[in-house]
Structure 1
Amino acid sequence: MARIPQHFIDELLARTDIVDLIDGRVPLKKKGSEYAACCPFHSEKTPSFYVVPDKQFYHCFGCGAHGTALSFLMEYDNMEFRDAVRELADAAGLEVPEDDDSGPGPDPDGALREALAHADQWFRQQLKQSSEAKAYLKGRGLSGRTAADFGLGYAPEGWSGLLDTAANEARRDALLATGMLIRNDRGRVYDRFRGRVMFPIRDTRGRTIAFGGRIIGEGEPKYLNSPEHPLFHKGQELYGLYEARQALRDIPRLLVVEGYMDVIALADAGIHWAVATLGTAATPDHLNKAFRTANEVVCCFDGDNAGRRAAWRALENALPVLRTGRELRFLFLPEGEDPDSMVHKEGREAFETRVASATTLSRWLRERLSEGLALDTAEGRAGLVARARPLLDKVRDEVYRSLLADELADAAGLAPERWAAMLAQGGERAGPKDAAARRQAQRPPRPALRLTPVREAIALILQAPPLAADIPDRAALARLDIKGVSTLSELIEQAGETELTTASLLERWRDRPEHPHLARLAAHPIPGDEDSRRERLLDIIRRLIGPRAVEARLEALLKRESESGLNAEEKSELKALYRARLEHQRTG
């Protein structure tokens, strides 16, 4: 599979200020040459979370959390590595390149993308030839321009229209793998989509990764989506997000609706900032992706009971991803209406006014949790506390959680201090008091790290990569048969390639099993200034390649000589080791 080149990761980290990145999520205060805050990954009253600009690295002395700018996005924003890279690249104005290291033979993802692109073009061509499909879209009030912007197509009636265009077995296999074709129990292969208007689902780069199909006329199901496959996970994709980014340079607000036609009808009316989930409730991944596009997200639902249940699921899923600076609102339409019908009925300006007046999350949370409770009684207030506690536990951002708690305290007619005490009392019986404490419980303190000489040398190189330039006799070090020395030698070589920070050096090991251990060593405190650390590192290296190391290597070569003989290079090394032994004996 394609991977992101290392030189790009280096450049990306060099262009990213980890202080600005974290400060936008967790307010930092300068302390000397570093920045501090209460840790966002566990509950604490005294700051133990530090960000070190020179290293482009963060570390918490309380719970042990540590890492680079990419690590922070992955843990704090629940991002995958590639999404974190794209997030930083967008902020830096860089395009993410990819290397193809798949080796000989076709790239499986490439074959899937080619098959989906082929299907996309074929559906578009079929739309041009179908008067019935064009009449349907015209009847829904769509302009040709909007249909083209969203790449709409048509899957004609019949069982093998797309199948017949598969020029070879490889393409047919790829269409099967993406769910565009189906093979039944008897081995027959046929088209999944038939007699439907087709909506291509695109990734953030505009590549088609799946389809939705709306039947023309009567029939069930009304809407049919592609099944999940290696390129498509419906819980992560937002329909129309690519088109919104193409239409607007800046998107301060994003409207999340339920259907393809809602997004397209709104765009046709001039509202280009709507996206849709793909037949599922809004997931944390959906909402994280939405908030990476806009700071304000409005979820739009029907006003009936089903719509309110869907909105509540969205609220519960949103709580873990909300933080200060992110605003979530809820828009409930009149029963029986959807965004498509409403924008046609009342026009763009009236619909935008509805969106602007949508209910805030805190207000709706307050209303829903208070339903059926007599808050002027002790029993009612206790009921509100019981309802609120598991929801507040979901909120990771402590400032946001505190603000929500104040809102609910006001609903109960309690002082915030009294409300907090009631939550804490119940929490002692029920489990962790809040989400941060729960995360701390899930991240037990690690045992103290025992520093061997090799581990200490690794920590010194990681924390100050320029020290690698001062290390003598690297070849002798690399030959040592001591645990960890091969990793140390590779780090020394990497640190000598260019001016790397702790972060960029660590990122070179992200996909390797040593990465968690190296990250921990990068965070391990080592006292002293630059000069004392340099002398400490050189002393460790001298001891590693000193008499004991010489004797160990001599023993290994002599054993090999007796068993299978030595080659010319090994014989030369053996002579050098004898000379080194004599020198150690003379000076010892």
Structure 2
Amino acid sequence: MDNNIYISNLLKDISIIDFVKLILNLKKIGDNFFALCPFHKENNPSFVVNELKKKYHCFGCGAHGNIIDFIKNYYNINFYETIKLLNIDIKNKYNLSNIKKNKYFFLYSKMNEICNIYKKNLIENINNKYLLKFISDKKWDINIIKFFNIGFSYNNVLINNFKNLYLLKNLGLIIKYKNIHIDKFNLRIIFPIKNTFGNIIGIGGRRLDDKYPKYINSKDNKIFKKRNILYGLAEIKEKHFKINKLLLVEGYTDVISLHFNGIDYALSSLGTSTTEEQIKILFNNSNRIIFCYDGDKAGRVASWKMLNKILCYITDDREVKFLFLPKNEDPDSLIRKIGKTKFENMIDNSMYFYDFFFKVIKKNINISNIYEKIKLIRLIKKFLKKIPGKLIKFFLKKEININFNLYNRNINNNFNKKITFNKNNINPLKLFTILLIQNPNYYYYINNKKELKYIIEKYKCNILIEIFKIYKNNKIFNTYKLLNLLKKNIFFEKILYFSKYNHMINIKYTNIVFIDILKWINKFFIKNIQEYLIKKDKKIGLNKIEKNKLWLLNLKLFKK
């Protein structure tokens, strides 16, 4: 079955009200159900659910979507996990507790049992010289050890305490050596690995003596796929309802030491190479990602590979940065030396992905050489082609022109082909002013002058004030006449500049764009009044007329 048809059928089968009321206290008013929004703090219900539309919308924070979006955002899980969860819940009449009855619950419970053996063994052998030195060096306390469920494998403790050798073998936790089964993780500190729902699905182990390999993981099996898991994500979700940002580091100990020192949004990819699946999980959980690398050559090479991997995921609402650590330092060692404040300062000052790109290109290409410049243009076009975000691409083209002195008409045209208008490309009021100057007849599209006057006064758009004075008292049908009437105006130079401004919008669509901005102004006007009433309600309360007004504004915005 086609995926779109499958999802469409799934949405038809689900009552959004029946599902959401399991989580929120819904109150019916007319055709809609209201509740306090689960995605931000509020005192008055602004979260609306509509069964007919099968959608929800919050007038406070803007959260909106269907039941798939709701579950995805509420539980911080990806799309496929959401579909899977919904399928289980449909069969079990929306009882979320029934998720425990899925076919992998037996394996989850056994993995939990195995990790409890390791945890108990850590306490019993805390004075082991290797273990004691390791924990002392890391300066971890008992709370962080418990939070990450850290254990210790020693003297074949797993084989001695867990009798199902067949299961241990299938999970990749034991190996056969000289016809004897031994614990694969012997003399290793144990790091349980959890899935999105907090179930233990695998383990990682670090060798405590000088033997190699230093790090190993349990093998892929029915519940554990290394390429689909990020270590530390379950712990982050346990602490944070909404994840503001994520810091991707390399190893288990990096994650734990960062969390221990207050950087509780760190996670790792269980190895040096981050997979496409893991990148998707990162962006499904946060729009702000910082990739952390060592400052040596290997770190630079790995970060360049990562940059090329993530370009196709960079949309206008996503912020991607790269953090390079000092030579011979990793996150674990550095956080213990400099502490949380200085480490977070480094994160705040880390490089945006495009600054990293510019830095590498400038270092490797001599732009004074024509052939090198051709090579540069080809590379940049390839780089930009991968980025789906229209706005970020638009501004990157400007930055590239400035950074590499490519401000040549022909080259610029190469970059600016097929740019479609989006009102966020430039300030909507600036574009509105430009279009009005270049097309005076558009003045007659403006029906509600009150809304526009409010916006103009709020943002002190002096040029628009002057233009409106002229339009009000004169019939103007071309820009030339407008410029003649404004010759002695203090803003004449700016108006003249706007009259020649290249907004890059196809002439066929300028009127559509202008009307679109008018709609945006209308919505902006309503939103401002709504926000004013909400603030007033929180401070001193609203009278009946004001409450009714707020209600009507909410409905108006909901329809939009």
Task: Please confirm whether the aligned pair reaches a TM-score higher than 0.5, indicating the same fold.
Answer: yes
Match of 1:536 in 2: none
Q: Call closer, same or farther: CA 1:86–1:364 in 2, change over 3 Å.
A: farther
Q: Answer yes or no: is 1:175 the counterpart of 2:168.
A: yes
2:359 to 345, 354, 367: 367
* CA offset digits 1:244-293 (Å, max 9, x no partner): 22223443221111111111111111221111110132233223222233
5+ residue gaps in structure 2? 1-6, 21-50, 56-64, 89-93, 420-560
Amino acid at match of 2:120: Q
Alignment of 1:386-425 (within 5 A): 386-415=378-407, 418-419=410-411, 421-422=413-414
Distance in 2, matches of 1:361 and 1:413, equals 20
User: Deviations along 1:347-399, whole A, 9 cap, x unmatched?
Assistant: 11111100110000011112222323222443332111222233333223333
**Counterpart in 1 of 2:110?**
115
- Distance 1:421-1:13 versus aligned 2 partners, 3 A rule: farther
Shift of 1:7: 9.2
SS at match of 1:221: coil
SS in 1 for 2:227: coil
What is the aligned partner in structure 1 of residue 518 from structure 2? none
State the partner residue of 1:328: 320
1:465 aligns with none
1:268 matched to which residue of 2? 260
- Retained in 2: the 8 A contact 1:116–1:175? no
Identify the match of residue 120 of structure 2 among 121, 125, 131. Answer: 125
* Amino acid in structure 2 at the alignment position of 1:164: N
Residue in 1 that maps onto 2:141? 143
**CA shift at 1:236, angstroms?**
2.0
Q: CA deviation at 1:97?
A: 5.6
Matched, 1:319 2:315: no
Q: How does 1:263-302 map to 2 (within 5 A)?
A: 263-302=255-294
Match of 2:207 among 212, 215, 231: 215
CA distance in 1, matches of 2:13, 2:353: 37
**CA distance 1:229–1:219, shift in 2 (3 Å):** same
Residue by residue, what CA displacement relative to the aligned partner does 1:2-59 show, whole Å, maximum 9, x if unpaired? xx9979971459889xxxxxxxxxxxxxxxxxxxxxxxxxxxxxxxxxxxx97779xx
* 2:154 maps to amino acid: P
Cα distance change of structure 1 residues 229 and 412 upon mapping to structure 2, 3 Å threshold: same
Secondary structure of 2:228's partner?
coil
TM-score, normalised with respect to structure 2: 0.57
Change beyond 3 A, Cα 1:173–1:361: same
Asked if the contact 2:114–2:162 (Cα under 8 Å) also holds between the matched residues in 1, the reply is: no
Secondary structure at the residue paired with 2:291? strand
The whole-number CA distance in structure 2 between the counterparts of 1:393 and 1:13 is: 42
Asked if the contact 2:232–2:268 (Cα under 8 Å) also holds between the matched residues in 1, the reply is yes
Question: What is the aligned partner in structure 2 of residue 10 from structure 1?
Answer: 14
Q: TM-score, normalised by structure 1?
A: 0.55
Aligned to 2:219: 227
Residues matched between the structures, number: 362
1:384 aligns with 2:376: yes
Instruction: Write the mapping of 1:53-202 to structure 2, written as runs, cut at 5 A.
Output: 81-83=80-82, 98=98, 107=103, 109-130=104-125, 131-132=127-128, 133-157=131-155, 160-167=156-163, 171-183=164-176, 188-202=180-194
What's the offset of the Cα at 1:342?
1.0
| SS at structure 1 position matched to 2:81 | helix
How far 1:165 moved relative to its partner? 2.5
Offset, 1:326: 0.7
What RMSD over aligned residues (CA atoms) do the two structures have, in Å?
A: 3.9
In 2: Cα distance, 1:263 partner to 1:200 partner:
13
Counting aligned pairs with the same residue, the percent is 25
Shift in alpha-carbon separation, 1:419–1:150, aligned structure 2, 3 A: farther
Checking the alignment, whether the CA contact within 8 Å between 2:85 and 2:99 is kept in structure 1 is no
Which runs of 5 or more structure 1 residues have no equivalent in the other structure?
17-52, 58-66, 426-432, 435-588
Instruction: Give the letter for the 2:80 counterpart.
Output: F
Q: Distance in 2 between matches of 1:150 and 1:116?
A: 15
